[in-house]
Amino acid sequence: MILLALFITAAARHHKSQTSSQKHGHSRVTPSPTLPFPYKSFRLPAYIRPNHYLIDLRPNYDQLTTAGNVSINVTSSKKSNFIILHKKHVNILDVKVSELNSKKDIKVIKTDEYHKYNFYYIKLEHYLQPNKGYLIHVRFTSQIKTKVLHGLYRSHYRAASGMTRYLYSTHLEATHAREIFPCFDEPAMKAIFTLTITSPPGYTAISNSEIHKKKVLQNNYTLNEFHPTPPMSTYLVALVVSDFKNLEGRTINNVRVRTWANPLMYKYTNYSLHVTMKVIPFYGKTFGVAYPLPKMDLVAIPEFAAGAMENWGLILYRETSMIYNKWVNTLRTKQWVTVVVAHELAHQWFGNLVTMKWWSDIWLNEGFAAFMEHVGTNHVAPEFQMMKQFLLRNFRRAQYADSLPTIHPLVSTATNSDQIESLFDSISYKKGSCLIRMVRDYLGIPNFNQGIRHYLSTYKYKNADHNNLWQALQWASHGKVNISSMMSTWALQPGYPVVTLGSHNNNGTATISQQRFLSVRKSKSGDYGSITASSLWHIPISFQTKNNRTGKFMLLKRADIFPWKNTDGWIKLNSNQIGYFTVNYNIQNWNSLTDQLKKDFLVFNDIDRYQLLGDTYMLARPGLLTIKVFLNMTTYLFKEKNYLPLYAGLYSLSVIKQAMSYNKIIHQKFEAYIYRLIRPQIQRLGWKHQASYLQSKLQHLILVYGVHYNDSTIKSYSLSAYHQWVYNNTRLPTKFRSLILSVAMKYGGQPAEKVMMDKYLHTSSSSMKRLYFAIMATSKDPTFLNKLLVMTLDPSKVRIEETVTYMSSVARNSVGSKLCWEFYKKHFQIIHKRYNSESFSLSHLMNSLTSRFNTEAQYKEVKDFYRVHNNVGVAKSTIPIILSKIRARIDWKILNEADVIQWANKHLT
């Protein structure tokens, strides 16, 4: 506390001084001559650590600039005559370094910059001494951005009067804090932050911590000084200056919760408020560490690049991720809001309280949050059955990405900002969450929770890596298992295994083996045998047999002996699809499992039925199993009534139908087959209220398929409801609104296009805008689709945050796919200039653009385009991934075409 008082006193003295001179140790910054930069690493020196920042920001909201001062209390653990900070697009006016205790200045004799790593080098006349405190004071200016959604940037909304109102907010993950103030911008450089910022009349400023004091200045601006934060990383610093309104509540632990939005929308944050007040104490109890701050603010930002950002004590969201109006929005929106709120709140522990040492372990943040969002949502809204939905939302999507030969491991190297941003992908989020789920089941929930509590209590306010997590879980297992050895096989190498169980041996056993699963088998140099041969996992396997024998087995070698007796009958591995792997069997066992489904499918629960359909389809992609096994298995679906297996079967059949579109006869056979499968479901479910949420999702799924296959009853009902809505101003049923509007677009021609466009342009709701655009994007009119694409780059009609989502919706359209690709190529420079530092946006768009490409000509076109246009910034790693996906579709056709045709001609009349 004495050291802190000295720091604040010294820093205050520097903040008051706006002049500098060399004799007092200040360096008036001038350009340095072009010489080799004197520091070689891409990481900051680890021996100089920040302890406390005092940051004073005085924005000029009209000129979009900020005048600032930052004083950083640092300690050096060894002698050094230089200091390195991060800065980007920040103009440093002067810099001063002094001893904290004596206040004696240390002369700055040179400054230099290295733009590649955003380094600012400060050369000192004398050495910093070990374990002594020093103060770095920097006076600077920075920019308030308007064309990108990071750093400190301006966004806007339209008020009830029709006037444009502005607000100012931050987004600093992963490396954007350096765009606002000079700092040690690495996650391990944790420090306390005391922030001060001025706000205009009628505006409120909020930050990570509570307001300490306010002062009205002569220009009627308010000077807002916030309490010090806990020790945290720079990327978690947050500020919002707005005229928003809020709702307020308190948790059972007396944490003040406020939910903010623009004055037209703030009352619809009441559900987010409810979720937050339930989840914070639940997580505190589950993790054994109470939420450490006295308050939590959630703000719905009109223009926000990510879905949300977990800044400690001040979480920022897209409007569509936080606002729920039960009279307008569907249960799907309610689920989404619950999930996103639960995800960001999980970060308050995993990421904020304990932070990864370096971005290579970003999965420790995102994988945990992507898993806990299901647990948290399940606590607040068990009707959503999130632990079942995990398989659709995370498991299969993770495996799809992880089956590519070009994918990175969970723990990956990152040596610059672009590489760091590229790690925010489905591997870090979805694969990470799958591995958390697997090890949780392996240890048992009580032991797992005990290990997590140990991890959080040991490393709170500090940093950790994956080894620290394994050690904590090892401790909780009481030495019974080697978690570190097991989990390193999953975290340190890319991909995942396919486990193959061979035929019975004569002694009541069978050979079980593993190899890396790859959805792409062909390459110019042959196959990927060398990759699969070098991979080995420690795989926990559960199983059940026809005769109700259950058990567990650990596969530690490439091949081993598995206990499987002839009297067991069929066997099924990986119960409830807990293990992150795919399973293959000998053809006799596959046939027995298929026969069981046809005879009595309820022997398997819905998760296991979903797994059987998913595994057979996945195995056929690279030719590890004939596609006929999957197709034979789908015939049991006429009796199925559950969401998960019907989703798996219908989705994969639709992909096969699309892949065979060049063969008109086979394509039509599959269209007829899929319609035969869904027709009884349409009759069973209809438009009736469903008792469970998953049955409601199934109903929507079936009706959507019915629209695609021109079901006459759906067409008749929908057009009638649509005409009543347009001409009589009746209300569309919220649950079926998107379905009804899609029918109208399909059959309504230009009049329907005009109605949807008018609705889009005049609604103030972000979620409704997204709905209307998605409906318009289903049009089969090329002229209209091109009009939509032009709109996506017009900020007056489409918010910057929504451009990628809207373009992607056009790209998914069979007519729009080629149009969107050509539009993207034509406007490549504009798009990539706007999104070159947002990995989520760019990667999502690049994947969507080519999601329907499946020919050699298309593969060559994409490859040639990116060979020339490879300046895609953070999304550079996406290029080999999308090429691998196109190659996988091409290979699928080569490997499966003959079997699909043969099966269709035999079974589909």
Annotated catalytic sites, by residue?
344
CA–CA dist 523, 883 (Å, integer): 12
Contact residues for 461 (Cβ-Cβ < 8 A; gap 6+): 190, 230, 231, 232, 353
Cβ–Cβ < 8 Å for 509, 563? yes
Please report, to the nearest 10 degrees, the dihedral formed by the alpha carbons of residues 522, 523, 527, 529 taken in order.
Answer: -130
Which DSSP category does 576 fall into?
G
CA–CA dist 592, 584 (Å, integer): 13
Burial bucket for residue 220 (CB in 10 Å: 0-12, 13-18, 19+): exposed
Query: How would DSSP label each residue in 460-523?
Result: TTEEE-HHHHHHHHHHHTTTSS-HHHHHHHHHSSSS-EEEEEEEE-TTSEEEEEEEE--S---B
Cβ–Cβ < 8 Å for 568, 545? yes
Neighbours of 152 (CB within 10 A): 24
CA angle 815, 820, 821 (to 5 degrees): 110
Cβ–Cβ < 8 Å for 776, 757? yes
CA–CA dist 504, 425 (Å, integer): 41
Is the C-alpha dihedral spanning 738, 744, 749, 754 positive or negative? negative
Cβ–Cβ < 8 Å for 677, 635? no
Helix axes 270-287, 331-347, angle to 10 degrees: 40
Helix axes 445-459, 432-443, angle to 10 degrees: 120
CA–CA dist 289, 286 (Å, integer): 8
- The pair phi, psi for residue 803, each rounded to 5°, is -55, -50
Task: Estimate to the nearest angstrom the gap between the alpha carbon of 77 and the chain centroid.
Answer: 37
Q: Per the annotation, where are the binding residues?
A: 343, 347, 366
Cβ–Cβ < 8 Å for 197, 66? no
Half-sphere exposure of 574 (CA within 13 A, CB side): 25
Helix (H, G, I), strand (E, B) or coil at 204: strand
Helix axes 606-620, 627-634, angle to 10 degrees: 150
| Residue that has been written with the tokens 């600039």 in this structure | 65
Burial bucket for residue 372 (CB in 10 Å: 0-12, 13-18, 19+): buried
